[in-house]
Chain A
Amino acid sequence: MKEPAKEPLNLIIGGVGGQGNVLMSLLVGRALVARGYVASVGDTYGVSQRGGPVASHIRISKDRSYGPLIPRGHADIIVTLEPVEALRLLAELGNPGTMIIANSRPVYPPDVSSGKATYPELKDLFGALGEYSAKSTLVHATEAALELGDPIYTNIIMLGALLGADVVPLDREAMVEVLADRFKGPALERNKVALDKGFDLVQQP
């Protein structure tokens, strides 16, 4: 585990309502506070229970409380459970130095199904993510979760990918401690497998 690269370190965890990004950010926040950091986790969402864009703003500092939301252009790391959401967040909060880690599986909005809007070609989307960030990594997390037997593990796999990328001041042990507070028995073991899966996926070229 290394020191945060800057002060504050600004991390976004985004996705579509219901995908589990709120739990992901809660776990990251708890692990950071357990390691002595001043962290805040601000969730942004619309009025919909399901299906709208959701993002958690995580601000990591050694000693200072920052506002709940990351200012425009100041996101250092963007992690998303859905690929087009990474571009939505990059446009609002990113800069040329931002690092992106995105799940590759799209969730199509209703307007795309009805023909009112189109979902971009994946190669165009991934091209834009690469062009306007310092580094963009795609993780086939949903596929990996399905291999583990349930798409519900997608968020924990992406959490593993975030740790594997070695960009936040947290190691596997810190995350396993907070997972153990939340899950018990076989559920904990399955989540640990998912965490390790993500860790490996992001380190593969």
Chain B
Amino acid sequence: MEGIDVDAPGTTQLLMGNEAIARGALEAGLGFTAQYPGTPSSEILSALAAVAKKMNFHAEWSVNEIVAVEAAAGASFAGIPALSAMKQNGVNVASDFLVNLGMTGSGSGGLVLVTGDDPSAISSSNEEDSRWICKWMDMPLLEPSTAQEAKDMTRWAFEVSRIVENACFVRETTRLAHTRGKVVLGDLPKERKTAYFPDVWNMCNPTKSQFTSGPFGILHHKLHERLKKIVPVFEDSEFNEYVGPEKPELLVITSGVCSLYCMEAVTLLGAEDRIGVFKLGTTWPLPEKLLRTQLERTQTILFAEEIDAFTEGNVMELAASLWADLKPITFLGKRSGHIPSWGAVSTDMMATTMAGILNVEYSSAGRTAAYDEGLSTAAKMVPPRAINLCPGCPHRGTYWSIKNALTIDGRHGLVAGDIGCYSLGFIGAGFFQERTMHCMGAGIGVANGLGNLREFGFDQPVLALAGDSTFYHACIPAMVNGVYNRSNFIFVIVDNSATAMTGFQPHPGVGRAATGEPAPIVDMEALCRALGARVEVCDPFDIERTTSMLLSLMADEGGGARVLIMRRICELVRARRDKSRPYTMRVNPDLCAGDACGCNRLCIRLFGCPGLIWDQETGRAQIDEAICTGCGLCADICPQKAIEREAA
């Protein structure tokens, strides 16, 4: 039996870190979960939503992270165990609520927040360590290192939250979130809670019946006091573990998946008798007594953690407060330059760093210099595989029309971009059209400013571009602002009816809830019209009409905030639904002039759909049958009309 809802305590499953977190929440009696998709944490809600109906709890894709966290907190106020997961950027979005929640406290249900940080920004617009919010707002922080710990810590986090009456954070990084590991299941609770918002005013403990962030003087003090209650619990936690000799030459203090890298590096170096590894699972607040015993072990300490020197700085602060009692210690880590302050950590990095500190050799298994040199020369024949928009992607059509329209307009117009698959507009896949990219909703925000510079002679057309899910998440206030303050921009909404980048999760525009049940549709077109904006709708695959529509919108001087909805379903979603191709495509070899055309392989080099390939033998373009989705778009871009579509 596979699945996070299997009621068989003691049995094992292979679960992804995210699934293990979901399972841990179920074991804690989860009643409410709300989330906005974001890599690497999306699968937590996907897994929970899949069993929510059957297990009778609430699971929703919320419109954004602050609403999700507020909703989950609301459930906790009424006594229902609640969880909200997000990626690092989501913590930023939710932060204003969280700094207030610290004052009011969370409810008796317990509130667990999961943050999925993305070292090396594998699928993110930025790299960021979200753990700081826990120190900032006195929230306890747990960092699992394996799928098993992800489950066990999440389950425990609800208890921690109830003790400190504040949200408890569980921090995962990409490698934990997306790695499957062996998990021994625990029991699922059988009793069911009743939701009730306490209405009895109790002067002795007002937070029980009121969750208001004032009077701050008292509440801020109480917040600090509440956090202290968890320290003795953390001192005894089984999630903190030391492995190594009593007095090691080098002590490594580590957390999360880095602890596995460190343990393996010690094995690879055969240095078990020289290096000790202290894995800290409860990273904030620090279990100070336990850490003091670690600090007393040695005089050389190396920190290994992903992204910022968070624990490194915290432990050094602690050491400073104990300086009179400790022997001198050399601290090594990100501050000393032994570990980079950016990017993911690896076993190789740890083994190399430890070898350098101990002054021993480390070389990869059996790889001699001669082998390395020969293989790296041979590997030069491996061609790169550049990232690209998918074959049949509607965004390719949208960017093609934007590029054409801005070129014809000639005033050096630009696109302020946003976060989604269409972010690839900043590279060749989107013809380098995206000129700004920050957080979700930032494109239209930046356009608000650029669109109000008339007094300074600014006449470049300003386009903001965002996806449908991003529109609901973060663009509506900026759209209202643009109308109200008469900013001059065109807001292009690339509506592909899905949160495509993160795995096709539904949103308020698609008519389906997280659980798969029907949901009301929030009509973005009607919403924008209600704001008083001019709203047009085009098909990204109709290049001619889209280009002339963009030119017409740009010519509408003083048109204020205008909206162009580019509507076509994500090709991956369509292909799954229809299981067929709209067209059969072919390149007519009599019409394709090859390199003699003068187009410089426009369809392949510039348009760049992966379904178009170059036939080296005939020197002509060709359709790759295995990759082409039959969307038909490329037929409209060939100057020779050599690409032909035939209804399939």
Contact = CB atoms under 8 A, between A and B. Distances in A.
Contacts of B387: 46-48, 51-52
B383 A111 contact: yes
Contacts of B382: 84, 87-88, 91, 120
Interface string B131-159: 00000000000000011100000000000
A191 to B, nearest CB: 16
Contact of B385 (A26, A68, A109): A109
Given A88-B382, A91-B375, A125-B381, A40 B2 contact: no
B260 to A, nearest CB: 4
Contact of A66 (B264, B371, B376, B378): B264
Nearest to B176: A68
Contacts of B367: 72-73, 95-96
Nearest to A86: B382
Interface in B159-191: 175-176, 178-182
Contact of A73 (B1, B366, B383, B501): B366
Given A91-B376, A96-B366, A108-B613, A40 B385 contact: no
B419 to A, nearest CB: 11
A85 B184 CA distance: 35
A114 interface: yes
B136 to A, nearest CB: 29
B391 interface: yes
B14 interface: yes
Nearest to B183: A33
Nearest to A16: B385
Nearest to B351: A71
B173 to A, nearest CB: 10
Nearest to A26: B180
Contacts, number: 182
Contacts of B180: 26, 29, 40-42
B257 A46 contact: no
B383 A119 contact: yes
A187 interface: no
B182 A38 contact: yes
A68 B179 contact: yes
Given A71-B346, A87-B381, A110-B388, A33 B604 contact: no
**Chain B interface residue count: which class?**
35 or more
Given A113-B614, A114-B604, A114-B614, A33 B14 contact: yes
Contacts of A52: 385, 387
- What is the predominant secondary structure among interface residues of chain B facing chain A? mixed
B379 interface: yes
A112 to B, nearest CB: 5
A111 B384 contact: yes
A53 B122 CA distance: 13
Given A47-B387, A110-B610, A65 B146 contact: yes
Interface string A133-147: 000000000000000
B626 interface: yes
Interface string A99-115: 00000000011111111
Contact of B604 (A38, A45, A47, A110): A110
A96 B365 CA distance: 9
A50 interface: yes
Contact of B626 (A43, A46, A151): A151
B601 interface: yes
A71 B601 contact: no
Interface string B350-380: 0100000000000111110001001110110
B268 interface: yes
A26 B73 CA distance: 35
Interface in A135-179: 151
A181 B6 CA distance: 14
Contacts of A84: 381-383
A5 interface: no
B604 A72 contact: no
Contacts of B268: 71
A42 B175 contact: yes
Contacts of A125: 381
A198 interface: no
A39 interface: yes
A67 B381 contact: no
A50 B390 contact: yes
Give the most central of B12, B181, B257, B391: most A CB within 10 Å: B181
Contacts of B365: 73-74, 95, 97
Interface string A1-29: 00000000000000010000000001001
Contacts of A41: 14, 179-181
A132 B347 contact: no
Contacts of A47: 122-123, 387, 424
B13 interface: yes
Contacts of B179: 40-43, 68
13 contacts: A38-B181, A41-B14, A42-B175, A47-B122, A49-B500, A49-B572, A66-B260, A68-B260, A91-B375, A96-B371, A110-B386, A113-B613, A119-B383
Interface of B: 1-2, 12-14, 122-123, 146-148, 175-176, 178-182, 257, 260-261, 264, 268, 346-348, 351, 363-367, 371, 374-376, 378-379, 381-388, 390-391, 421, 424, 500-501, 572, 601, 604-605, 608, 610, 612-614, 624, 626
Given A50-B572, A68-B257, A109-B384, 19 more contacts: A40-B179, A42-B175, A46-B122, A49-B421, A52-B387, A65-B182, A67-B261, A69-B347, A71-B351, A73-B367, A74-B364, A84-B382, A87-B379, A88-B382, A96-B371, A97-B366, A110-B610, A111-B384, A114-B608
Q: Which 6 A-B pairs have the closest CB atoms?
A: A73-B364, A91-B379, A120-B381, A67-B260, A117-B383, A68-B179
